[in-house]
C-alpha cells in the first residue's frame, strides 16, 4: 500500500496519464498499479512518484515502457487446459444445439492480450463445427487496451515455444510455418477481429453468445468490477455463456448468472435479470402495449392505497407498487430477484407456504391480522390476500399478494379486549415472543452479512495473489528472453574466438597484441612455440618484463612512437634473438598500431617471423 504522504503524488501521476495519453487507470487496483510503476522507477533509479512524473515529461518515450509494464500481457494457448476442456465438452455443444444450423455465432475475447486466447477459442469452435461452418457462421471479436499487443495478435505468428501447450494434432491443422515462427491459418484468422476496447468506459459488444475474459477482472477494484460485469451481462444474448479466469468469481450476481461449472468459472446468463447498463429498471414490463398504456397502468397501480405485489411462475418478483416499495424498502433492482430471497417473503409473515398452496389449489388464501412491528411506533396490522393470477381461464401466469392495513380496526378491537385482563396479558406475552423472534432474525441476518464480507475479502486476497503470480510469470518471461539473448551472444563470441584462434594458428608466425602500457593482451600459439611461454603465463604482463630472449630494448622506442601516434607503422625490423631452446635465431618483426572504431590508438600489434635465409640482421643499435 502507498503511504498517505505518497498517495497524492501517485494520484497525480494517474491523472497525468489520463489527461496526456488517454489511459484511465483509476478503476484498477491501486496496489497492483503501484507495484508496476515502482518497477519502472527502480529500473531508472528514481525514488518518488513525483520524480517519475517529471521524468515522463522530459522523456516521452518512457510512456511506452510504462504502459507495457502496467498492462500485464500474461497469456497462452489453452491456459488452464481443464477449464478449456469443460468449455469444449459442455458449453460449445450446448451452444451449437441451441442455434439453428445456419444461425451466426458471435464470441468476444475481452482482454485478449497478444491473441492466444482468441485463437484457442477459434480452434475449439472450428473443431466442433468444421472449418467450413466456422468460416460461414462464426465471428470472434478480440479486444484489449494495449495497441502493441493487438498488433502482434493481428499478425497471429508465434514462436515454437509458445505452441508447447497446443495439442500436436491441432498444431498441425491450425498453424503454418512462417519463417522462424508459426502463424495461425490465414483462412480462419479472418473470422477473428481484433480491436481496442476499454472495458471501463467503452460500449460492450452486443448479442454475444460466448464471452471469454480470463484473469482480467482481478486487476480492477470492486466498483469497477461491478460495472464491467453489468456490461458483460448486457453484451451476452439470452442464455449466453461467460468464461472467467480461475481467480474470478460472481459471488454477488446470482440474479444475473447461473454457474454451469463453478470450479472452472463457467457461467450462464439469466435473462430474467437483464437490463441495459445505465437505463433504469422497469417495475412492470410494457413490451408490446399501446403507447401510453403502460404509463396509465403504472400510475393507476401506484395510486392504490393497498400494498400490491406480483410473482411469476419462476418465483421471481415482477410487480411492486409504491406502497410496497415504501413499506418493505424495495428498490428497482429487486425486480427479477427470487421472491424467497427478499425480506418481504417472511416479514411480517411467512408467505412462501401460502404461495405454494395457492399455486397448487388455484384458490385464494387469506391471512388476517398479520402484525408488523415498527421501531418506535405501535405495531401495524394487515390482512394479507394471496390469489392466483390468470391470463385466461385456466392459464395461470403468477400469484398476486395484497396487504390491506387494518391497524385502525385492530386498535378498536384491542381496546375492547383490554377489558379482559387475562387476554391482555396473553397478548403481551405473544408480542414479547414476536420481538424475540425478530431480534433472532436480525442477528442471523447480521451474521450472514459478516460471512459475506469475509468471503469477499478472501476473494479479493485471492485475486491479488493471482495478480502477483502473473506479474512474476511476466518477469520470468522477460528474464528468459534476456537469457536466450545472452546465450546467443555467448555462442557468437565463442565462434569469433574460435575463428580468431584458427587464424592465429594458421598464420604460423608469432602474433602479440599489446595494450597502451605494452601489456600482453593476445599471445598466439606461434609465440608459445617460439619462446615456450604459455598464453596464460604471458597475459597482462609487460612485454618489456618478459625474459624470453627478445631484445625488447631495441624495439621499445618504436612501440612508444606508435602508441603516441607518431607513426602509422614501422618498417620490418630484423633482429637476432634467442628462442626457447637457447639458440640464436634471426627474426623479422613488423609492428602496427591497434586502432579503435573512432581511430584512436589503443595498442600495438606485433607480427614476428623468421628472417629470410641469407639476410643480415638489422643493426640493433640503429635499426
- Between the ranges 236-240, 439-443, 467-471, where is the mean pLDDT highest? 236-240
Which pLDDT score is estimated for 22? 66
Tell whether 280 is covered by a domain: no
Q: Of 390, 419, 448, which marks where a domain is finished?
A: 419
42, 402, 562 from 324: Cα distances, Å: 59, 9, 103
pLDDT, mean of residues 322-342: 83
Same domain, 586 and 539: yes
What is the percent of the chain with per-residue pLDDT over 90, rounded to a whole number? 22
For the chain, the distance separating the N- and C-terminal CA atoms, rounded to the nearest angstrom, is 77
* All residues at 6 or more sequence positions from 8 whose CB lies less than 8 Å from its CB, including other chains: none
* All residues at 6 or more sequence positions from 570 whose CB lies less than 8 Å from its CB, including other chains: 558, 561, 562, 590, 591
Same domain, 121 and 261: yes
Closest CA to 526 of 509, 541, 540: 509
Rounded Cα gap, residues 373 and 2, in angstroms: 48
Rounded Cα gap, residues 413 and 400, in angstroms: 28
What's 359's domain CATH number?
3.30.450.20
Question: Mapping DSSP to helix (H, G, I), strand (E, B) and coil, where does residue 546 land?
Answer: coil
Global confidence as pTM: 0.51
Same domain, 221 and 130: yes
Same domain, 56 and 122: no
DSSP string, 553-598: HHHHHHHHHHHHTS-S--PPEEEEEE-TTS-EEEEEEEEEEEE-TT
Radius of gyration of the chain (CA): 42
Same domain, 464 and 519: no
Which pLDDT score is estimated for 569? 60
Least confident of 198-202, 296-300, 576-580: 296-300
pLDDT of 283 > 60? The answer is no
HEC readout, 232-247: HHHHEEEEEEEEECCC
The total number of residues written for the chain in this structure:
623
Q: Give the confidence band of 190 by pLDDT, cuts at 50, 70, 90.
A: very high
Same domain, 107 and 249: yes
Pairing of strands 317-320, 192-196: unpaired
DSSP string, 24-47: --TTB-HHHHHHHHHHHHHHTT--
Strand order in the sheet with 208-213: 192-196, 138-144, 105-110, 208-213, 236-244, 266-269, 257-261
Rounded Cα gap, residues 571 and 568, in angstroms: 10
CA 216 to centroid of chain Cα atoms: 4
Same domain, 512 and 495: no
Same domain, 114 and 242: yes
Which pLDDT score is estimated for 186? 92
Tell whether 619 is covered by a domain: no
- Number of domains, the chain: 5
Same domain, 589 and 496: no
pLDDT of 135 > 50? The answer is yes
Mean pLDDT of the chain: 82
Tell whether 623 is covered by a domain: no
Which pLDDT score is estimated for 212? 94
Contact criterion met (CB below 8 Å) for 243 and 213:
yes
Rounded Cα gap, residues 195 and 23, in angstroms: 16
Which pLDDT score is estimated for 194? 93
Tell whether 620 is covered by a domain: no
Contact criterion met (CB below 8 Å) for 87 and 243:
yes
Which pLDDT score is estimated for 422? 63
For residues 279, 334, 223, 147, the Cα torsion angle rounded to the nearest 10 degrees is -50
Closest CA to 403 of 324, 325, 471: 324
Q: Give the confidence band of 31 by pLDDT, cuts at 50, 70, 90.
A: confident
Tell whether 247 is covered by a domain: yes
Closest CA to 247 of 71, 451, 29: 29
Contact criterion met (CB below 8 Å) for 386 and 351:
yes
Q: Of 70, 102, 117, which marks where a domain is finished?
A: 70
* All residues at 6 or more sequence positions from 39 whose CB lies less than 8 Å from its CB, including other chains: 69
Tell whether 569 is covered by a domain: yes
Other Cβ atoms within 10 Å of 497 Cβ, number: 10
Contact criterion met (CB below 8 Å) for 320 and 281:
no
Tell whether 473 is covered by a domain: yes
- Residue 141 phi/psi, 5-degree rounding, is -95, 120
Least confident of 30-44, 238-252, 269-283, 509-523: 269-283
Which pLDDT score is estimated for 568? 63
Which segments within 262-344 are labelled E, that is strand? 266-269, 307-312, 317-320
Contact criterion met (CB below 8 Å) for 601 and 588:
no
Which pLDDT score is estimated for 127? 94
Other Cβ atoms within 10 Å of 235 Cβ, number: 22
Q: Give the confidence band of 71 by pLDDT, cuts at 50, 70, 90.
A: low
Same domain, 91 and 211: yes
Tell whether 279 is covered by a domain: no
Rounded Cα gap, residues 75 and 115, in angstroms: 8
- Between the ranges 14-23, 117-126, 570-579, where is the mean pLDDT highest? 117-126
pLDDT of 288 > 70? The answer is no
Segment 81-127, tens digit of pLDDT: 999 999 999 999 999 988 888 899 999 999 898 899 999 999 999 99
What's 179's domain CATH number?
3.40.50.150
Rounded Cα gap, residues 202 and 194, in angstroms: 15
Closest CA to 110 of 50, 49, 195, 6: 195
- Between the ranges 218-222, 250-254, 374-378, 386-390, where is the mean pLDDT highest? 386-390
Contact criterion met (CB below 8 Å) for 107 and 119:
no
Cis? peptide before 19, omega within 30° of 0: no
What's 47's domain CATH number?
1.10.155.10
Q: Of 501, 524, 552, which marks where a domain is finished?
A: 501
Rounded Cα gap, residues 382 and 74, in angstroms: 60
**Angle (CA) 567 572 574, round 5°:** 135
Contact criterion met (CB below 8 Å) for 592 and 577:
no
Contact criterion met (CB below 8 Å) for 32 and 221:
no
Question: Mapping DSSP to helix (H, G, I), strand (E, B) and coil, where does residue 159 land?
Answer: coil
pLDDT of 572 > 60? The answer is yes
Alpha-helix residue ranges (DSSP H) falling in 508-566: 525-531, 535-538, 552-564
Same domain, 104 and 167: yes
Same domain, 251 and 307: no
Which pLDDT score is estimated for 570? 60
Contact criterion met (CB below 8 Å) for 399 and 386:
yes
pLDDT of 286 > 50? The answer is no
Q: Which domain holds residue 58?
A: 7-70
What is the helix (H) or strand (E) element at residue 176, kind and residue range? strand 175-178
Amino acid at each position: 500500500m502507498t503511504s498517505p504522504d505518497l498517495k497524492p503524488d501517485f494520484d497525480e501521476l494517474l491523472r497525468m496519464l489520463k489527461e496526456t495519453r488517454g489511459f484511465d487507470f483509476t478503476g484498477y487496483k491501486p496496489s497492483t498499479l503501484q507495484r508496476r510503476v515502482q518497477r519502472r522507477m527502480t529500473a531508472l533509479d528514481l525514488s518518488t512518484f513525483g520524480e517519475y512524473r517529471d521524468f515522463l515529461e522530459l522523456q516521452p518515450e518512457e510512456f511506452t515502457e510504462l504502459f507495457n509494464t502496467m498492462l500485464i500481457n500474461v497469456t497462452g494457448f489453452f491456459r488452464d487446459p481443464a477449464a478449456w476442456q469443460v468449455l469444449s465438452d459442455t458449453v460449445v455443444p450446448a451452444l451449437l444445439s441451441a442455434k439453428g444450423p445456419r444461425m451466426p455465432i458471435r464470441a468476444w475475447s475481452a482482454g485478449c492480450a497478444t491473441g492466444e486466447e482468441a485463437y484457442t477459442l477459434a480452434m475449439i469452435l472450428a473443431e466442433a463445427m468444421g472449418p467450413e461452418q466456422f468460416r460461414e457462421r462464426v465471428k470472434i471479436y478480440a479486444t484489449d487496451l494495449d495497441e502493441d499487443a493487438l498488433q502482434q495478435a493481428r499478425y497471429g505468428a508465434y514462436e515454437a515455444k509458445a505452441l508447447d501447450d497446443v495439442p500436436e494434432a491441432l498444431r498441425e491443422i491450425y498453424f503454418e510455418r512462417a519463417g522462424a515462427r508459426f502463424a495461425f491459418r490465414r483462412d480462419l484468422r479472418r473470422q477473428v477481429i481484433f480491436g481496442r476496447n476499454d472495458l471501463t468506459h467503452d460500449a460492450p459488444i452486443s448479442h454475444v453468445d460466448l464471452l471469454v475474459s480470463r484473469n482480467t477482472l482481478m486487476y480492477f477494484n470492486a466498483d469497477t468490477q461491478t460495472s464491467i460485469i453489468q456490461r458483460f451481462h448486457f453484451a451476452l444474448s439470452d442464455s449466453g455463456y461467460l468464461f472467467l479466469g480461475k481467480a474470478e468469481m460472481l459471488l454477488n450476481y446470482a440474479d444475473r448468472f447461473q454457474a454451469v461449472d463453478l470450479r472452472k468459472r463457467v457461467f450462464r446468463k439469466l435473462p430474467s435479470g437483464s437490463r441495459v447498463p445505465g437505463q433504469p429498471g422497469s417495475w412492470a414490463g410494457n413490451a408490446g402495449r399501446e403507447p401510453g398504456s403502460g404509463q396509465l397502468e403504472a400510475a393507476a397501480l401506484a395510486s392504490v392505497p393497498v400494498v400490491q405485489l406480483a410473482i411469476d411462475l419462476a418465483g421471481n418478483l415482477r410487480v411492486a407498487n409504491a406502497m410496497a416499495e415504501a413499506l418493505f424498502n424495495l428498490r428497482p433492482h429487486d425486480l427479477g430477484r427470487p421472491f424467497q430471497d427478499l425480506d418481504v417473503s417472511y416479514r411480517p409473515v411467512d408467505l412462501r407456504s401460502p404461495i405454494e398452496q395457492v399455486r397448487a389449489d388455484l384458490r385464494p388464501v387469506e391471512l388476517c391480522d398479520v402484525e408488523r412491528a415498527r421501531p418506535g411506533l405501535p405495531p401495524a396490522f394487515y390482512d394479507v390476500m394471496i390469489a392466483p393470477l390468470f391470463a385466461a381461464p385456466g392459464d395461470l401466469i403468477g400469484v398476486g399478494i395484497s396487504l390491506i392495513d387494518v391497524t385502525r380496526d385492530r386498535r378498536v378491537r384491542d381496546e375492547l379486549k383490554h377489558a379482559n385482563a387475562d387476554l391482555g396479558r396473553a397478548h403481551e406475552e405473544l408480542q414479547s415472543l414476536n420481538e424475540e423472534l425478530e431480534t433472532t432474525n436480525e442477528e442471523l441476518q447480521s451474521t450472514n452479512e459478516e460471512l459475506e464480507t469475509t468471503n469477499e475479502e478472501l476473494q479479493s486476497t485471492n485475486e491479488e495473489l493471482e495478480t502477483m503470480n502473473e506479474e512474476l510469470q511476466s518477469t520470468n518471461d522477460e528474464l528468459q528472453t534476456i537469457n536466450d539473448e545472452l546465450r546467443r551472444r555467448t555462442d557468437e563470441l565463442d565462434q569469433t574466438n574460435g575463428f580468431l584462434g584458427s587464424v592465429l594458428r594458421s598464420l604460423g608466425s608469432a602474433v602479440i597484441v599489446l595494450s597502451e602500457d605494452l601489456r600482453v593482451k593476445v599471445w598466439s600459439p606461434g609465440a608459445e612455440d617460439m619462446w615456450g611461454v604459455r598464453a596464460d603465463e604471458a597475459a597482462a604482463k609487460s612485454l618489456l618484463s618478459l625474459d624470453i630472449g627478445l631484445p625488447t630494448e631495441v624495439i621499445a622506442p618504436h612501440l612508444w612512437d606508435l602508441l603516441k601516434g607518431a607513426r602509422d607503422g614501422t618498417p620490418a625490423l630484423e633482429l637476432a634473438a634467442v628462442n626457447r631452446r637457447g639458440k640464436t635465431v634471426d627474426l623479422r618483426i613488423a609492428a602496427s598500431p591497434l586502432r579503435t572504431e573512432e581511430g584512436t590508438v589503443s595498442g600495438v600489434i606485433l607480427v614476428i617471423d623468421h628472417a629470410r635465409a641469407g639476410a643480415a640482421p638489422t643493426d640493433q643499435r640503429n635499426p
